Structure 1
Amino acid sequence: MERALASGRRISVLFVVHFKEVWTSLEAVYSLMCEDDRFSATIAVINFSMLGETPGNGWQIARMLRNSGYNFVDLSYRSDADINRFLDNLKPDYLFRQTPWEGSFPSPLKTGALIERGIKLLYVPYNMHIVDHPDVTINQEYILNTSLYFCFCQQHYDDYKEKSLANGRNAVLTGSPKLDRIVTENDIRNESIMADRTYCVMWAPHHSVDANHLGFGSFPRDFSRILDFAATNPAIKFLFRPHPLLEAVLSSSFPEIFRNYGVFLEKWNSLKNAETDRNADCAPGFRESDCLITDGISFLVEYQIAGKPLIFIDNAPDMKLTSVGSRAKAHASIVHSMSEALDVVTRLRLEGAPHQQSTNPAMEWLRPFPGQAAVRIVEAIHSDFVAAGSGGS
């Protein structure tokens, strides 16, 4: 894409990657910038901890990116001094972080240090703005200081502008690259679906099993029931997709349950009709499955947009949801136990596979610009750069 800036230099954009499971929120943006000579895009990999565990996941991210053919700078074991030198040399105009919480970001990549450097901050939400808890979500220091905060639908945009302590000054309505990818993957499945294929159930338990932290995860009381059901229903395929932080939570706070988790995994993976989905990208598992059981809020939007039934084990019915969360929940099958969820699975299977559609018409409001999210994000960054007087079109 030959559209060089009149200033004669490219817009330098740094993608700080530390959470492989949410890379799909940014991947299409990075890929477009690599093909656009207005931009110079760089990926930097770091170690990171979300819940206080010892940071050490950089090698996994590096392997994922390498397998996908992406170039990157590995800062996962570099000192703060090295990271500062890297930033001194790169001089990025803009920077994406995958998560807004300061957590274990190296000091040079914390919000305050980035602001001092004059780097403009960017954020594409990897989650779908389900829980109405602005102090934990949209009013984090990083988001409040972003130059551009990319909203995925009109409801998200309106809610952000209303509840942001920054008065929504940085909000831009673009759509979600992650949702676009899920729909694209589902299109592939619909083109190749076989009438005699095995009915497939995905189970995605959340990590919030601690009553002191949200507390809507019910894995400890659910795993035995679904294990027994899978063992006695060999004609159904099961995909177990645990939240990326579930194991860390169990190992650090619930050692007895963690021991049981190990036994469960061994039994689960020994079944011919059960698998564990460790793919960083959720879209292929969504494509393969016919319905989803979850106790978490993460997939309320993502799975349903693919036009398939979601069975939601509602362990926190009084949780305050955003308008996005309320609308998404209204289209799910609400149950209150794993036994009830499996009853719904039995009914759905008897009714047959979901309609062969790439999206759920009732959820089309979530994609105001179908297939265009990444393009709109790239153009918004270019427009911001030009408006600041840094370049020409």
Structure 2
Amino acid sequence: MTEQIVPNVAGTLTDLSARLQTLEEQLSAITQKLQISEEIQVETVQFFVNLHNEQQQGFAILQEQVRATADQFGEVTVNTMTELNESLQTVLREFGTLLVRTGNGLHSQIHHVKQTANLVLRNIPSRQERIRCLFLVQSVTMWDAFADVYARMVEEPLFDPIVCSLNVSQLGSANFTGEADVSEFLKSQGIPHLRFGMEDSFEALDIMKSLQPDVIFRQQFWEGGVQPGFQTGEITFARLCLIPYAALIIQTHNDGPEGSDLYSPAWYDQFFHRMAWRIFCENAEMRETFLKPRRHDAGKIVVSGYPKFEKLLKAKGQGQWPIPERGERAYRVVWAPHHSVRGGLGFGVFDRMAMEMLAWARSQPDIEFVLKPHPALTEGLVRAKVMTEEQARDYFKAWSALPNCAICDGLYGELFDASDLMITDGISFLTEYPLFDKPLVYFESGCHVPFNALGHKANAASHVVRDFASLKSAVLSYKGGAPWKFEAERAALKEALLPGGRSSVDVIIENIAEGIHSERQAIRSAG
């Protein structure tokens, strides 16, 4: 009896395989159509629905036939059921392989069509004479890198700058928030802007495409903190430009031992870097870093200087301290902790000093402390399991409740100018605070990724401590009038950071204008 079951099942398997072959041929035809019209994506979705239904129907028929045959001929032997199970598993594996191959192929095809369409859009001759530039802003603290470039474009008749406020995800948590805060900041600065705070970022993408920008500036070159509609693969319909928001002071992959896990190309070889039309960098050494992976056209890496440094220097003499004066002027300390606690880049030491700082602030009313946390500090603490969100909120609430303490978010040039000293564990402030010629006490974690050449200069220009007792002693020493011992090292760092010559804003503005003009001329000549 069992011999009659196998032929019946084998016939069903043959029929199922034939269906799968037919569906695979249909997929091939659909994939070819995908290159002709985006409407085929709808047909592709329907195809997968049909494919799933065919799969379910086929297996249902197979199972029903096995049951019917068993009822007709009696119990099936164990060996026969094993053979049937193996045959069924083979079909499942083959079907799974087909789906994976199908999915990968469609993804590649869709990506290819999208990028081709974006490049076509980018090269359509502009109907406007002015160069339209979109500034995608998702972080207030990063705005200083854009501020002077935007301001100059407002003044230049050749440019048409448009600012857009976005949500952000701290450390790639996929929780996108903050657009309202960015919008409020831009409003306070008198900057007109479009608000892209909608949950579906592709709605904003449609608006962006309708604006037909020539250039797009995005603050972050990492994709994790950016909503899907603003990610690199979606915005290549315009020329992407990068102005770094922080100086690179850590070693890159090419600086370290081959295969080392300590080093990452995160700062210089992201998808955004590869697709960028221009990358403006602070010095010749940084330009060489970008060229190391040999994936960038040398012509797009432009040494411009660093607009953020120039913007910070304008804050000198404009100091603003958030704690009201309480009689005799107190000694003013900025405490700036990094988010990379117990992992990641490894600079953060908040977990090793937070409680001591709170106790010290309570016991030392003649010192005023302003906490300037990295925007992702809370997320970093939660991720490292140092604190829960509620515990972090409680800590910051206890800090703010002290009369000699405050928390400062947002821009910080005026804060730095009003202060007397900084405590930090890295990273950006190791190069930015020395511009103000004041003592910087750097709490060395002892477990961070290595410095590059610029990082070593910044480290040498800091007062380095490795425990809280040494940190407190150093601060009290400078409060008591001790001289700064690292003047020569700080001068060397500033020389590397501010090489002199032309304004970085002038270089950026002129390079974009010349580049767009040349491309427009070439397109018109070809037409």
- TM-score, length basis structure 1: 0.87
Match of 1:210 in 2: 342
Secondary structure at the counterpart of residue 77 of structure 1: coil
Check 1:164–1:207 CA distance in 2 against 1; reply closer, same or farther (3 A cut).
farther
Match of 2:359 in 1: 228
Match of 1:263 in 2: 394
CA contact (8 A) 1:307 1:354 kept: no
Shift of 1:310: 1.3
Structure 2 unmatched runs, 5+: 1-126, 253-263, 321-327
Match of 2:332 in 1: 200
* CA deviations over 1:286-327 (Å, ceiling 9, x no partner): 111111111121211011122112111111356222221111
Structure 1 unmatched runs, 5+: 1-6, 191-195
Match of 2:204 in 1: 83
Which residues in structure 2 correspond to 1:1-393 (within 5 Å)?
9-51=129-171, 52-77=173-198, 79-115=200-236, 117=237, 119-133=238-252, 134-163=264-293, 165-166=295-296, 168-189=298-319, 197-211=329-343, 213-254=344-385, 256=387, 258-278=389-409, 280-316=410-446, 319-351=449-481, 361-362=491-492, 363-369=494-500, 372-390=503-521
CA contact (8 A) 2:250 2:452 kept: yes
Shift of 1:253: 4.9
Match of 1:193 in 2: none
Q: Aligned partners of 2:205 and 2:346: how far apart in 1?
A: 39
CA contact (8 A) 2:345 2:448 kept: no
Shift of 1:87: 2.4
Q: Aligned partners of 2:521 and 2:229: how far apart in 1?
A: 24
Count of residues paired in the alignment: 375
Q: Aligned partners of 1:286 and 1:215: how far apart in 2?
A: 25
CA contact (8 A) 2:283 2:305 kept: yes
Identity %: 25
Name the amino acid aligned to 1:97: R
Mean Cα deviation higher: 346-355 or 294-303: 346-355
Q: Aligned partners of 1:259 and 1:83: how far apart in 2?
A: 33
Check 1:57–1:120 CA distance in 2 against 1; reply closer, same or farther (3 A cut).
same
Mean Cα deviation higher: 120-129 or 227-236: 227-236
Secondary structure at the counterpart of residue 69 of structure 1: coil
Name the amino acid aligned to 1:332: S
Larger Cα Rg: Structure 1 or Structure 2?
2
Over aligned residue pairs, what C-alpha RMSD do you find?
2.7
Q: Aligned partners of 2:277 and 2:388: how far apart in 1?
A: 43
Check 1:50–1:41 CA distance in 2 against 1; reply closer, same or farther (3 A cut).
same
Q: Aligned partners of 2:141 and 2:435: how far apart in 1?
A: 19
- TM-score, length basis structure 2: 0.66
Mean Cα deviation higher: 363-372 or 380-389: 363-372
CA contact (8 A) 1:53 1:248 kept: no
CA contact (8 A) 1:294 1:311 kept: yes
Check 1:370–1:233 CA distance in 2 against 1; reply closer, same or farther (3 A cut).
farther
Match of 2:39 in 1: none
* CA deviations over 1:70-108 (Å, ceiling 9, x no partner): 111111116345223312321111110000011253434
CA contact (8 A) 1:18 1:46 kept: yes
Mean Cα deviation higher: 132-141 or 16-25: 132-141
Secondary structure at the counterpart of residue 239 of structure 1: strand
Secondary structure at the counterpart of residue 388 of structure 1: helix
CA contact (8 A) 1:203 1:241 kept: yes
Check 1:142–1:274 CA distance in 2 against 1; reply closer, same or farther (3 A cut).
same
Check 1:164–1:23 CA distance in 2 against 1; reply closer, same or farther (3 A cut).
farther
